[in-house]
Chains A and B, each alone.
Chain A
């Protein structure tokens, strides 16, 4: 399958460098709607509005401000922002190998796959198989879209997957949410353990689906069959009289104006 890459470069550690492409691993199942004008079904556009002047603001009059206290801002230019952005890089450099079981799932951010680029197939397979055999994940730093990410590279069924990880200072402590410690009777504990054990199954994600999405898809399919679709006004091809000649149309218009005067 030809998947469009988000990024291409090399994955490397010590003396190995393998050309790869990064592709997305999930296609979000959210069904999205366009916002339309109820009068003529034109798709609506977003514009920036200045409530003070009650006017639309063109892009060249828009700047960034960091709100440090309410209504007080520190201005930030594009150049200043760029000065703190990491240099674009073409490599995913593995700095250490870890045991993935040690990574709390709360750190997982976004999954991708790595696909070997031309000439990298053999080295890719070698790395994927070796990592699978020793059951370790590579930890790497990697710049994507002007941000530096910490990523875990795992091997699954001969393919390498990349998961971006949250930085530890992004993770909120669970201390505030844990209940207070107290004594629980051994009998109560074993009862709870037993009821859990009765419900243990193998993880089969296929058993579950987004029910709202399913119903929405059915509803859309039914509506598409029953009701005619509404259409946005054509921008160019409009119904009307038969098109005329430009010169004739302009002359006609100028003559009409002359007569009126």
Chain B
């Protein structure tokens, strides 16, 4: 096994097998993955900070097996910050917090291509700071149908006074986020609200939308997955790489862009690659910043 030692902010980090091809058909090695996250750090770190991380690790690359790792590995360096979060079984589990570049690099050295985070912060794991609509297209639908649903959803939410923000999932779907003020909001509230919204959408656009989990219900429709609004669920973090053939990124879009692209008829134009993600973020800044700072009150149903 090849090892490279680097020092960052006085911390010593051992990087292993940097030449390993993690996206073999694209020639993207672990060094490329680390380089992507190093440059994406100013944008992704605020969204990872203080959140109990779930690693999705691909030690043998995207074509081989992966595994989810929730428990912070016991072989972590002493400087990796952690949080204890009570689990459904009543026990507490130690999660890693990625609060700085060194920890991000350590996590990527473990081939954690995808970084998943909950909708609540580790210091208040029962209080969501945003509500999410996870738009997941059926087999005969694609990201363009998701875009249509997202735009309707945005209009519906704005009519009850809620601003929303959209990002690509990095796969076939879109994620619509509604930032909240965290004042006493519970996952029960966000789940009830998002379920009701999904139900309304399904009723008015039965050919386009389903609020039911069953795969066979989806087909050419878009499934609005409201059940992600749960303390035990995680969403792929904005700016995280995805494990597919090409290194695509879960990337924030402007609503205007989504409007323009949704009529273009080319689903590929809504997919953002690693290099495009970096150049766009470095030029425009963090389009998802509002999700962290905007405070909105969830209206009563």
- Does A associate with B in a complex? yes
Interface membership of A242, Cβ < 8 A: yes
Q: A59-B93, A237-B12, A240-B14 are in contact. Are A249 and B19 (CB under 8 A)?
A: no
B77 and A249 form a contact (CB under 8 A): no
Q: A78-B89, A235-B77 are in contact. Are A257 and B31 (CB under 8 A)?
A: yes
Residue of A nearest to B102 (CB): A246
B6 and A240 form a contact (CB under 8 A): no
Chain A residues near B89 (CB-CB < 8 A)? 59, 78
B6 and A249 form a contact (CB under 8 A): yes
Give, as a whole number of angstroms, the nearest-CB distance from A180 to chain B.
52
Q: A78-B89, A236-B14, A256-B19 are in contact. Are A244 and B4 (CB under 8 A)?
A: yes
Interface centre among B3, B15, B70, B89 (most CB of A within 10 A): B89
Chain A residues near B30 (CB-CB < 8 A)? 253
Interface membership of A15, Cβ < 8 A: no
Interface membership of B53, Cβ < 8 A: no
A250 and B34 form a contact (CB under 8 A): yes
Interface membership of B191, Cβ < 8 A: no
Q: Which chain A residues in 205-248 approach chain B with CB under 8 Å?
A: 235-238, 240-247
Bound CA–CA A45/B71 (angstroms) = 14
Give, as a whole number of angstroms, the nearest-CB distance from A233 to chain B.
9
Where chain B touches its partner, the secondary structure class is: mixed
Give, as a whole number of angstroms, the nearest-CB distance from A260 to chain B.
8
Bound CA–CA A201/B12 (angstroms) = 65
B18 and A253 form a contact (CB under 8 A): yes
Give, as a whole number of angstroms, the nearest-CB distance from B45 to chain A.
15
Chain A residues near B184 (CB-CB < 8 A)? none
Interface membership of B212, Cβ < 8 A: no
Interface membership of B32, Cβ < 8 A: yes
Q: Which chain A residues in 60-83 approach chain B with CB under 8 Å?
A: 60, 78, 82
Q: Which chain B residues in 74-95 approach chain A with CB under 8 Å?
A: 74-78, 87-91, 93
Give, as a whole number of angstroms, the nearest-CB distance from A256 to chain B.
6
Bound CA–CA A243/B90 (angstroms) = 42
Interface membership of A84, Cβ < 8 A: no
Bound CA–CA A249/B3 (angstroms) = 11
Residue of B nearest to A43 (CB): B74
Interface membership of B257, Cβ < 8 A: no
Q: A78-B89, A250-B38 are in contact. Are A261 and B27 (CB under 8 A)?
A: yes
Q: A246-B105, A253-B18, A256-B19 are in contact. Are A241 and B5 (CB under 8 A)?
A: yes
Interface membership of A186, Cβ < 8 A: no
Interface centre among A236, A238, A244 (most CB of B within 10 A): A236
B19 and A257 form a contact (CB under 8 A): yes
Q: Which chain B residues in 32-77 approach chain A with CB under 8 Å?
A: 32, 34-35, 38, 68, 70-71, 74-77
B31 and A238 form a contact (CB under 8 A): no
Residue of B nearest to A64 (CB): B89
Taking a contact as CB atoms closer than 8 A, the residue among A235, A238, A254 that contacts B35 in the complex is A254
Give, as a whole number of angstroms, the nearest-CB distance from B119 to chain A.
18
Give, as a whole number of angstroms, the nearest-CB distance from B72 to chain A.
13
Give, as a whole number of angstroms, the nearest-CB distance from B202 to chain A.
30
Taking a contact as CB atoms closer than 8 A, the residue among B8, B70, B76 that contacts A246 in the complex is B8
Chain A residues near B99 (CB-CB < 8 A)? none
B90 and A78 form a contact (CB under 8 A): yes
Chain B residues near A254 (CB-CB < 8 A)? 29, 31-32, 35
A235 and B76 form a contact (CB under 8 A): yes
Bound CA–CA A254/B31 (angstroms) = 6
Give, as a whole number of angstroms, the nearest-CB distance from A58 to chain B.
8
17 more contacts with CB within 8 A, not counting A246-B8, A246-B13, A256-B19, are: A45-B74, A58-B68, A78-B90, A235-B75, A236-B77, A242-B5, A244-B4, A249-B18, A249-B31, A250-B18, A250-B35, A253-B18, A253-B29, A253-B31, A254-B32, A257-B27, A261-B27
Chain A residues with a Cβ under 8 A of chain B: 45, 58-60, 78, 82, 235-238, 240-247, 249-251, 253-254, 256-257, 261
Chain B residues with a Cβ under 8 A of chain A: 3-8, 12-15, 18-19, 27, 29-32, 34-35, 38, 68, 70-71, 74-78, 87-91, 93, 105
Name 14 interchain pairs, CB-CB below 8 A, sorted by A. Answer: A58-B68, A82-B90, A235-B76, A237-B12, A243-B13, A245-B7, A247-B38, A249-B4, A249-B31, A250-B31, A250-B38, A253-B18, A253-B31, A257-B27
